[in-house]
């Protein structure tokens, strides 16, 4: 397949897909090495820019997607009667930032940073496809870890996480520190559970003794 034919094929496939496609998947389907495809895709992107096309090619880490340019968003929304998404809350932005800069990350660590329960916020971000489950840590309880998605990159108009603004020194935790934070959180939860089970005063202690006598 010559280069022009390959470029046209890529354009057709990406247009028809309507979602990001991995470079490796394209390479296997078209039986073309990744290096060649990368160059052809770069040429396609430049061609769309130079001709003033209303379509642009997005690179989302190792994935590619054709989409309308953002300057046409309002007219597209009006003609297609697309409703605007509900804006993210401040809490959602905070959780999203914590995940983006510290991924893969656990719910326990997020809650330790923010000091409040984040179950609902994490659920909302998952529904919006901005974050997703990335596996589990090899720790007691096998806690889930979360990370951002290609949709996150697309929404913030960046090609990779490397394009995120730098974090001030000392503000970002390593994966090891994240594991330590989870272990600490788990330990605190167990301590709290044990304390709740312990008698709080003499009356509670007496009731506990009476209950044990009755069981005996």
β-strand partners of 131: 148
Least confident segment among 49-58, 93-102, 119-128, 159-168: 159-168
CA distance 156 to 179: 28
pLDDT band at residue 211 using 50, 70 and 90 as cut-offs = very low
| Domain regions of the chain by residue span | 3-79, 90-195
Cα dist from 141 to 27, 116, 191, 193, whole Å: 39, 20, 15, 15
Q: Do domains 3-79 and 90-195 have the same CATH topology?
A: yes
3-state secondary structure of 11: helix
Q: For the chain, what percent of residues have pLDDT higher than 90?
A: 44
Architecture of domain 90-195: Orthogonal Bundle (1.10)
CA distance 91 to 97: 10
Q: What's the angle, vertex CA 165, arms to CA 160 and CA 170, rounded to 5?
A: 115
* Residue 18: per-residue pLDDT: 85
Which of 185, 115, 189, 175 lies closest to 146, judged by CA?
Answer: 175
Which of 49, 68, 57 lies closest to 10, judged by CA?
Answer: 57
The pLDDT tens digits for 163-208 are 888 876 655 554 455 556 555 655 554 444 445 445 455 454 445 4
Q: State yes or no: pLDDT of 214 exceeds 80.
A: no
Phi, psi angles (nearest 5°) of residue 2: -75, 170
Torsion angle, alpha carbons of 84, 89, 94, 100, to 10 = -20
* Residue 216: per-residue pLDDT: 46
Domain 3-79 classification at class level? mainly alpha
When the pLDDT of each residue in the chain is averaged and rounded to a whole number, the result is 81
């Amino acid at each position: 397949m010559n280069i022009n034919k390959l470029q046209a094929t890529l354009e057709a496939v990406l247009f028809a897909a309507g979602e990001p496609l991995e470079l490796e998947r394209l390479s296997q389907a078209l039986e073309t090495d990744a290096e060649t495809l990368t160059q052809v895709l770069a040429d396609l992107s430049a061609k769309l820019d130079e001709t003033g096309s209303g379509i642009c090619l997005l690179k989302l880490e190792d994935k590619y997607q054709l989409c309308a340019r953002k300057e046409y968003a309002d007219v597209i929304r009006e003609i297609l009667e697309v409703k605007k998404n509900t804006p993210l809350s401040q809490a959602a932005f905070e959780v999203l930032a914590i995940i983006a800069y510290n991924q893969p990350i656990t719910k326990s660590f997020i809650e330790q940073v923010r000091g409040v329960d984040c179950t609902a916020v994490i659920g909302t971000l998952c529904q919006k496809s901005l974050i997703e489950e990335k596996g589990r840590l090899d720790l007691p309880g096998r806690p889930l870890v979360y990370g951002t998605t290609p949709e996150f990159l697309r929404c913030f108009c960046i090609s990779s996480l490397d394009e995120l603004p730098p974090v001030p020194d000392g503000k970002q935790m390593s994966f090891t520190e994240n594991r330590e934070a989870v272990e600490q959180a788990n330990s605190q939860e167990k301590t709290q559970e044990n304390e709740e089970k312990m008698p709080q005063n003499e009356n509670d202690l007496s009731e506990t003794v009476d209950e044990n006598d009755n069981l005996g």
